[in-house]
Amino acid sequence: MSLYRIKEIFYSLQGEGFHTGRAAVFIRFSGCNLWSGSEYDRVSAQCPFCDTDFTDTDGNNGGEYDASQLAETALSLWPNSKRPFVVCTGGEPLLQMDGQLIAALRGCVIAVETNGTVPAPPGIDWLTVSPKAGTTLRQTSGSELKLVYPQNGMDISQYEGFAFEHFFLQPVDSPKYPNAVMEAVEHCLANPKWRLSLQVHKLAGIK
């Protein structure tokens, strides 16, 4: 029986990308293949701008779960009888997600947010891929491609031919955030294939 290491499970609004503003249950998986999550080696991480705590299992509803326990806990946070929208995120959720868990969540709309370095298993309803500079992209299709922008050494035109329904630029959260916003806006205006994604949950002061 597989056990999944979970940092936290919580109910909030999606703050990024196509589903911005939509109520969702978030399952944050512990661990990532691009960074340890420890500040001491952030400089050498492949995504040093990461703004998420995904280490250990000590968050709200965190722990080790089997598939049925994880699905039951997530569904217990959904407020009504409508089909739950469940966002599996991280860290990197595809290091742990498998067919057993997808089957346990089958009554939900299953969304996954991944860095694209691990191929996605079948059965995911909404797949968001957020590539990082210097990595090998193994998932080149999905629902939306969401690039943190700008990233050193990244030519974003290389992604435009991939099979995604939507393309988003999300300004990197850094001390130079206003400059990143303007760069993203200018690129979206010059290349209408791309749309702007802002982290609305931060603007609203919610998790």
Which residues have C-beta within 8 Å of that of residue 101, sequence separation ≥ 6?
2, 4, 67, 70, 71
Residue pair 175/195 in contact by the 8 Å Cβ criterion = no
**d(Cα 42, Cα 194) in Å, to the nearest integer?**
29
Active-site hit among 8, 29, 32, 114: 32
Active-site hit among 16, 113, 164, 168: 113
Residue 108 falls in the annotated catalytic set: no
Active-site hit among 8, 16, 50, 54: 50
**d(Cα 176, Cα 115) in Å, to the nearest integer?**
23
Q: What is the pTM of this model?
A: 0.96
- 90 pLDDT higher than 90: yes
Residue 113 falls in the annotated catalytic set: yes
Percent of the chain whose pLDDT exceeds 70: 100
pLDDT computed for residue 20 by the predictor:
98
Q: What is the pLDDT of residues 27-66, one digit of tens each?
A: 999 999 999 999 999 988 999 989 999 999 999 999 999 9
pLDDT computed for residue 2 by the predictor:
86
Q: Which domain holds residue 85?
A: 4-204
Number of domains in the chain: 1
Residue 51 falls in the annotated catalytic set: yes
Mean pLDDT of the chain: 96
Residue 52 falls in the annotated catalytic set: yes
Q: What is the pLDDT of residues 145-182, one digit of tens each?
A: 999 999 999 999 999 999 999 999 999 999 999 999 99
CATH number at residue 17: 3.20.20.70
Active-site hit among 10, 162, 187, 201: 201
Active-site hit among 16, 19, 26, 188: 26
